[in-house]
Amino acid sequence: MIILDRYIEEVGKHLPRKNRSDIQKEIRSTIEDMLEDRAAQNGRPLDDSLVQEVLKEYGAPSKVAASYLPVRYLIGPRMYPFFTLVLRIVFSVLFVIALVRLGIALSKDTLSWTTFLKIIGQNTMNFLTGILSAFGNIVLIFAILERTMPASQYEMEEEKWDPKELNSVSDPDKVNRVELIFEVLFTVLGLILFNFYPDFPKFEWVSGDKWIICPGFSEAFFQYLPWINILFLLQIVIDLVLIREGIWKTVTRILYCIIESGFIALACVMLVGPSLIDLDMQHFQSIFGEASETIIAFFDRLPHFVLIILIIVQSIDVMKMIWKALNRSKTV
């Protein structure tokens, strides 16, 4: 039976050399038994037509060979938990480094929209390149470990578990009311200071027989004040809703992300806009002399550092909220 010989040979191409001959003999014996049974049951001669019919039922050579092989993984189940843990750690570190580099780059020079977008684009591409490179290296390392390390090295003993411990596990959707109350108080304080005390912060000193008062914020800052007020009021509303309900829901998570994104967008606009500090050089020179330029430069750059920190912190908050919402949706 030439067809059967060719079939057995084709199956062997997909088998490891070590056990190939034994498996081929087993498959041949099984198929020959099937042919004899089929011929006896149907009263048919053992011809090529019957062989083709039986081989078609038995399966394609590659599929038959795969049934004799162990399941093949690039990274198997025993290594996968460690693999995902390392990925999370490395990606988190790379993300923090990328944010720090972005903050340093944004704080170096006076920014225009073109420069701002260019820096954002370059740092984003560098971050993505680093992520892809790290991912490829980690996959390669774990694929090698999967094939070289004995399974006993990664076997974990099953811990004793008591269902009573479930009562002590905190609900991830539960809000911290104390933290929210303080946030509301500080937000209200910010609204009062910015709207009812426009000279805050201000610099005061005596020069000769004159009392000099120099307001801190420039007129450019007060152009953003209506947007600041809107975002602050929305923040208070969402905080009060959370304090009342005591738990995060999908709607409140979405609203929180929208409000935080508004703060991030406003901070980016303020970062590339006119200076938010307006200090009089002549008044400072009368007090600090040659050091006045350094002092004014420091206070002029201070809002940039504050805004960069604000963007970084709130971006992390938004991503954490999105991550929790996605994980929550998977478990529901």
CA distance 332 to 323: 14
Average pLDDT of the chain, as a whole number? 77
Tokens standing for residue 268: 């980016």
Q: Which amino acid is at 114?
A: T
Residue 293 pLDDT class (50, 70, 90 cuts) = low
What Cα–Cα distance (Å) separates residue 215 from each residue in 178, 198, 223, 280, 284? 34, 8, 16, 9, 13
Model confidence over 118-131: pLDDT tens digits?
878 888 888 889 88
pLDDT for the residue 328: 64
Q: Which amino acid is at 328?
A: R
pLDDT for the residue 202: 56
Instruction: Give me the DSSP letters along 24-83.
Output: HHHHHHHHHHHHHHHHHHHT----HHHHHHHHHHH--HHHHHHTTSPPP-SS-TTTHHHH
CA 318 to chain centroid = 11
Q: Return the percentage of the chain with pLDDT > 90, whole number.
A: 7
Residue 166 pLDDT class (50, 70, 90 cuts) = very low
Model confidence over 27-72: pLDDT tens digits?
889 988 888 888 888 888 878 888 888 888 888 888 888 888 766 6
Residue 205 pLDDT class (50, 70, 90 cuts) = very low
Judge whether residue 157 has pLDDT over 50: no
Give the least confident one: 18-27, 116-125, 212-221, 232-241. Answer: 212-221
Grouping H, G, I as helix, E, B as strand and the rest as coil, residue 206 is strand
- What is the signed CA dihedral for 239, 241, 246, 250, rounded to 10 degrees? -100
Q: Which amino acid is at 65?
A: A
Residue 235 pLDDT class (50, 70, 90 cuts) = very high
CA distance 44 to 90: 66
Contacting residues for 239 by C-beta, under 8 A, at least 6 apart = 180, 183, 184, 187
Model confidence over 66-111: pLDDT tens digits?
888 766 677 777 777 778 888 888 888 888 888 777 777 766 656 6
pLDDT for the residue 260: 92
